[in-house]
Amino acid sequence: MIVTPSNLSHSELYGILLNSVAPRPIAWVSTISLSGEPNLAPFSFFNCVCVDPPLLAFAPGLRQPKAKAGRGEGVRGEPKDTLRNIRDTGEFVVNVVTYELAEAMNLTSGEYDPSVNEFELAKVTPQASTIVRPPRVAESPVSFECKLHQILDFSPAPTSSSLVIGAIVSIHISDAHLKDGKLDRNSLDMIGRMGGIQYTRTTQRFEMVRPKVG
């Protein structure tokens, strides 16, 4: 079967992409509003994109407006609290998600009112960051404090999104996950996002040596 994206509905294309581009790492992003309200939400369109300079990127989609009389599918969605806060403050923290934190992370995925404190909702601890204003999740084994590098806004479609690129300015690593002074990758029971409501654990791993050429 060969399909052309322009011939598919949004939901059909969304399903293909999310079921085939997987597993995806999860950025558990903490931000703070101009008025000081904390926010915490997960995003699976996420990855590291550069080491020099150290950059992380994630893509928050638009929050779909509630159906109202006279408003059709062409109505543009609204920016999520995370994106709005980053535009306003230029700062955020990316917290990594382990299996132990999966349920708490999932609780923060709801489209809550901006007044809702997701740290309290998920019963996780807001820990003061060293450089940026937004707090980090104390229970997360690795947290990246970021300053906004760039936001790329894609087409103004109702279901579009933006790409947020952050420059890492500080990294917090739990001592429990250090071995000989370095991050012990084998101690991180990370999870990844699949399609639909499926997730996966990274407990089954294998190694391959890259071929030497020349």
Give per-residue pLDDT as tens, 53-66.
999 999 998 877 66
State the pLDDT confidence band at 157, using cuts at 50, 70 and 90: confident
State the pLDDT confidence band at 159, using cuts at 50, 70 and 90: confident
Give pLDDT, residue 72: 44
Q: What are the extents of the domains in the chain?
A: 24-65+73-201
Give pLDDT, residue 76: 63
At the topology level, CATH places domain 24-65+73-201 in Pnp Oxidase; Chain A (2.30.110)
H, E, C per residue of 136-154:
EECCCCEEEEEEEEEEEEC
CA atoms within 13 A on the CB side of 208: 2
DSSP state of 6: G
Q: Is pLDDT larger for residue 19 or for residue 155?
A: 19
**C-beta neighbour count of 105 within 10 angstroms:** 23
Give pLDDT, residue 141: 98
Residue 52's SS3 state is coil
pTM for this structure? 0.92
Give per-residue pLDDT as tens, 80-124.
999 999 999 999 999 999 999 999 999 999 999 999 999 999 999
Q: Which residues pair with 161 in a beta bridge?
A: 61
Residue 32's SS3 state is strand
